Structure 1
Amino acid sequence: MNDIVRRDPFSDLLRGFFVRPVDFDFDVSTQAPEMRVDVKENADHYAVSAELPGVAKDDIHVNIDGQLVSISAERKQEKETRDGERVLRTERYFGKVSRSFQLGQEVDEARASAKFKDGVLELTLPKKAPAQAKRLTIE
């Protein structure tokens, strides 16, 4: 009589997963940059908070075009570990991240302001007063 063997296709996958060596030398700063953005609306302005850890202030760019707001950032990092004259490890990382979003009302670019402190970009974007419709007099 034939012996029937039950085979689970996922067992090989899981066995390989647990056998692999785990790298405990994981450095969060070498990951691709992320940007978490919060947008809050008040009666007269929008408040935007963007988390940009590990990014220098000079590498952040904010563009405003009417209702469209774009934030882009670039992280450049080089790390070298030395033991005397022997180089043990050299790492380089360059990465870009960008986000664009459209607001419900146009932004007054002249009064907009930005602050960057402790890896958090804070934007204050005043709403532009809606243009009043002009009534023409017919002659």
Structure 2
Amino acid sequence: MVERWSPIAEFERLWSEMDRLVSEAFGRTTRPFFARALTARPAIDLFDTGEALVVRAAVPGAKPEDLEVSIEQNTLTIRGRCGSMLDEETAKHVTWYRRELGYGEFSETLTLPAPVDADAAQAHIEHGILTLTLPKTSEARVKRIPVQQPTALAAAVN
């Protein structure tokens, strides 16, 4: 079977092999490169319901007090901490055999595609997903304009 060469997959394989060698040499495991890269930037969905923009961000392990959300003009910023980490006392007494769950701070800024009413915005977190509902301003909402015939033409047609 012929397999297409991917430089990213090759780099990931090389990094994984280097991680394995370091683990064997020093008796500890470091987090793989791509796991670190993914914790620095949460996965984000942004969609429009017509009445509001909805943003969903994957922030596993984050609590409400770990997150800060702000809107300035048409820019949304989400900052916080997420992931899994042991407290210092527990971390002193453990032997790691595998460690891939990341932990860290992040800051993500999005330019919103439409003006929103920041005063009416809502945010909640459930099962590691931060959901922001940002109602669009009345100017940004789609308005249907009915098409009418001129009254003289409408009378002639009937």
Report the TM-score, using the length of structure 1 for normalisation. Answer: 0.62
Q: How many residues align?
A: 111
Is the aligned partner of 1:102 residue 2:107? Answer: no
In terms of fraction of residues, the more helix-rich structure is 2
In terms of fraction of residues, the more strand-rich structure is 1
In structure 1, the gaps of 5 or more residues are 1-12, 132-139
Structure 2 partner of 1:88: 93
Alignment match of 1:56 (pick from 60, 63, 66): 63
Alignment match of 1:69 (pick from 53, 68, 76): 76
Listed as ranges, the matches of 1:1-139 within 5 Å are 17=18, 20=21, 21=24, 32=39, 34-75=41-82, 77=85, 78-81=87-90, 88-89=93-94, 95-130=104-139
CA 1:40 to 1:81, structure 2 compared with 1: closer, same or farther past 3 Å?
A: same
% identity of equivalent residues: 25
Query: For each residue in 1:34-89, what CA deviation from the matched residue of structure 2 results, as whole angstroms up to 9, or x when unmatched?
Result: 4111001121110110010122210100001121100001248425449xxxx534
Q: Which has the larger radius of gyration?
A: 1
What's the C-alpha RMSD, in Å, of the aligned pairs?
3.8
Report the TM-score, using the length of structure 2 for normalisation. Answer: 0.55
Structure 2 residue identity aligned to 1:61: E
